[in-house]
Amino acid sequence: MTSTPSVIVFDVNETLSDMSPLSARFVEIGAPAELARIWFAALLRDGFALAAAGGTAKFATIGSEILRGLLRDVALTRSLDDAVTHIMNGFQSLSLHPDIADGIRALKSAGMRLVTLSNGSDQVAESLLTRAGLRSDFEAVLTVEDAPAWKPVQAAYDYAAAACGVTAGDLVLVAVHPWDIHGAVRAGLGTAWLNRTGEAYPSYFAAPEHTITALSDLARQLK
């Protein structure tokens, strides 16, 4: 991409939201903290498998059913139903990463249109942005609940472009997930990999156009 984009598209889970507090919720139900990461990876795995086979299901449906399997043999401090509810409700109380608010304001000041594109629910994304006082900065909260497929299937990115009334080349996806960056590149979007951890980008995925360590860096790179 050589021209300045008009729309910045944000992944939500882990990109905007800090999901680390979910580990404490696992401990509160009697499960090990490290099960949080295992669970989220399994959730994405099954969502991707459905998408690859031409199907789809809601994030909460997949997440709840995987939790039931993972927690079945754990000595829980409450009933299985209550434990699953406690974990899933944790999404409603997550906060933004510290770099997000300043980055959003910088992009808005630069005249960018801002939207989300999440594999999760619109309710979770709406709640996250509203609690952070940033909902009014976003033109739309888009999720794959209204798209033909989960990211990283091209149809998800095509849906975002159509919803914004632009071509794919007018969008830049911001995400911490290399798989999301890869899908966006293949769909014709510009990309910005938000690398907060300093890890290496996988060589088998299409490379991002921009690599940033904090969202506030993006507005400067797009000038």
pLDDT averaged over the chain? Answer: 97
Give the pLDDT confidence score for residue 4 in this predicted structure: 73
Same-domain check for residues 112 and 216: yes
In this predicted model, what pLDDT tens digit does every residue of 89-136 receive, in sequence order? 999 999 999 999 999 999 999 999 999 999 999 999 999 999 999 999
Instruction: Quote the CA–CA distance of 194 and 94 in Å, as a whole number.
Output: 19
In this predicted model, what pLDDT tens digit does every residue of 12-22 receive, in sequence order? 999 999 999 99
Is 2 domain-assigned?
no
Q: How confident is the model at residue 3 (pLDDT cuts 50, 70, 90)?
A: low
Is 52 domain-assigned?
yes
Is 1 domain-assigned?
no
Is 176 within 8 Å of 153 (Cβ atoms)? no
Residue 45: partners with Cβ closer than 8 Å, 6 or more residues away: none
Q: Which of 150, 189, 154 is nearest to 168 (CA)?
A: 189
Give the pLDDT confidence score for residue 84 in this predicted structure: 98
Same-domain check for residues 122 and 40: no
Q: What is the DSSP string of 43-88?
A: HHHHHHHHHHTT----HHHHHHHHHHHHHTTS--SS-HHHHHHHHH
Give the pLDDT confidence score for residue 70 in this predicted structure: 98
Same-domain check for residues 132 and 207: yes
Is 190 domain-assigned?
yes
Domain extent, residue 52, equals 22-93
Q: Where on the phi/psi map is residue 172: left (φ > 0), alpha (ψ -120 to 50), or beta?
A: beta
172 forms beta bridges with 8, 190
Give the pLDDT confidence score for residue 210 in this predicted structure: 98
In this predicted model, what pLDDT tens digit does every residue of 212-223 receive, in sequence order? 999 999 999 998
Is 148 domain-assigned?
yes
Is 131 domain-assigned?
yes
Q: Name residue, tokens 């690599």.
A: 211
Please say which residue of 93, 111, 126 terminates a domain. 93
Name the percent of the chain lying above pLDDT 90: 97
Same-domain check for residues 37 and 132: no
Please say which residue of 93, 113, 133 terminates a domain. 93
Is 109 domain-assigned?
yes
Same-domain check for residues 67 and 115: no
pTM: 0.95
Per-residue pLDDT at 80 exceeds 90: yes
**Number of structural domains the chain divides into:** 2
Instruction: Give the CATH number, domain containing residue 31.
Output: 1.10.150.240
In this predicted model, what pLDDT tens digit does every residue of 125-167 receive, in sequence order? 999 999 999 999 999 999 999 999 999 999 999 999 999 999 9
Same-domain check for residues 46 and 131: no
Same-domain check for residues 54 and 122: no
Same-domain check for residues 76 and 159: no
